[in-house]
Chains A and B, each alone.
Chain A
């Protein structure tokens, strides 16, 4: 079991920064540019680590707690999710709630760190981020409940087990499709992607997530970037498990398929970012509520 834990952590730590790289490359290709190299995020992290800290005098320990928690939480969360053919190292009944609220914890600390700076831009971004995540939470929970119903169990490992493959081919296919779409929307919201937030904007008034981390620098910023990439990978892992429930039996092959699925997800996110425009801010709650109703509808379908 220790071996499995270490293996999952290693895969997470090594593979996570590749995803933002793939997304940026996809966006560049769409725009007709050559774009940064795929491994650029690794170089960025290395560069940031070699820099020094700069702290504002108005901040407290909360300011550093934000990035640290942001990096630790995905490491803990990944232990609850089965990677590829691997079993989840830690699993117990109801661990899906722990998963959702671990991310809630990291969000709390990020927002607290933002408020700690005392700057109005960060406060504005924190307020927006918290509102949107608040609206996205029921969607995720409903989606997980659908999976739980399908597996008749509240253990995450069992929910993402082999019965998914059977369900896809049977009459439960459309429901799983709905669940996948809902989880994709939640992924976009939580990771601040278009159409909910523009990661490339430089105008503070339009930022949501980027403005919260505006004051961090050096290794702290590196921790934030790393944490964000790992969060993307963990949430993406959930989605890839639902969408591609292949289990060939060979651990290496399953892992390979899983990583390929994650890369495909990154490409998909890149495509979505390149083809869609950002939603008007008042529309975002409407869309999120719509997604919640969609996942509720999926739940109703499954509960019949």
Chain B
């Protein structure tokens, strides 16, 4: 079950890297957040901590944050296509290479005995790199936010391994931070849209030196 969830997370990475439609990307990241909400339950069993964490992650990552982003798109009325710097095929190829490299690299890491050969660490690394790739190779400001969210998802996967170290309050704080962060980003996106009539970050290059 855990492996199925993790593989689906990686598949969603690929989908986001290769998709040309903004709304599809947002929904994919929302689905990823929702799946990650199930991860603590699948790994540590239905304890109170895991349950609350799952519910929190689902609400924030799966529902509220995508809602904020979709609202941002609607308000800005931009062209709903993703604009990459390098082509989709190249991005996907890079993403796959990086994922494969993550799997190979994870086998060389000095992991704790119970985590060796598992899929947590490679999935976490692969998702983080995919997030970075999205951040770097996309022109639209909104996709940069999506890249940031995917990066955070990757870090979340790693954090599930360490559930006992991170008390619930801290987890809630992290999720809340994420939510407010995306909220502020949404507002700034709105203003960018209004000022520039586009979310293309090519226009955000006036400040130099």
Tell me the A residues contacting B by CB distance below 8 Å.
171, 173-175, 178, 283, 285-286, 289-290, 293-294, 296-297, 300-301, 304
Given known contacts A174-B4, A174-B7, A285 and B96 CB-to-CB distance under 8 angstroms: no
Which residues of A sit under 8 angstroms from B95, Cβ to Cβ? 293
Cβ-defined partner of B3 (8 Å) among A171, A286, A290, A293: A171
What are 13 A-B contacts with C-beta separation under 8 Å?
A: A173-B3, A174-B3, A178-B7, A286-B88, A286-B89, A286-B92, A290-B14, A293-B14, A293-B93, A293-B95, A297-B99, A300-B99, A304-B117
Which residues of A sit under 8 angstroms from B10, Cβ to Cβ? 297
Given known contacts A285-B89, A300-B99, A294 and B3 CB-to-CB distance under 8 angstroms: no
Q: How many residues of B contact A (CB 8 A)?
A: 21
Is A304 a contact of B14 with CB atoms below 8 Å?
Answer: no
Provide the B4-40 mask, 1 if CB < 8 A to any CB of A, else 0.
1001101100100010100000000000000000000
Taking each of B7, B14, B95, B103, which has the highest tally of chain A beta carbons within 10 Å of its own beta carbon? B7
Tell me the B residues contacting A by CB distance below 8 Å.
3-4, 7-8, 10-11, 14, 18, 20, 88-89, 92-93, 95-96, 99-100, 103-104, 107, 117
Which residues of A sit under 8 angstroms from B14, Cβ to Cβ? 290, 293-294, 297
Is A290 a contact of B103 with CB atoms below 8 Å?
Answer: no
Given known contacts A290-B18, A290-B92, A296 and B3 CB-to-CB distance under 8 angstroms: no
CB-CB nearest in chain B for A299: B100
Given known contacts A173-B4, A174-B3, A174-B7, A293 and B103 CB-to-CB distance under 8 angstroms: no
**CA separation between A118 and B23, bound complex, in Å?**
45
If A290-B14, A290-B92 are given as contacts, then 15 extra A-B residue pairs at C-beta distance below 8 Å, sorted by A number, are A171-B3, A173-B3, A174-B4, A286-B89, A289-B92, A290-B18, A293-B92, A293-B93, A293-B96, A294-B11, A296-B96, A297-B99, A300-B100, A304-B103, A304-B104
Given known contacts A294-B11, A297-B99, A300-B100, A289 and B4 CB-to-CB distance under 8 angstroms: no
**CA separation between A178 and B6, bound complex, in Å?**
13
B177 to chain A, nearest CB (A): 32
**CA separation between A286 and B93, bound complex, in Å?**
11
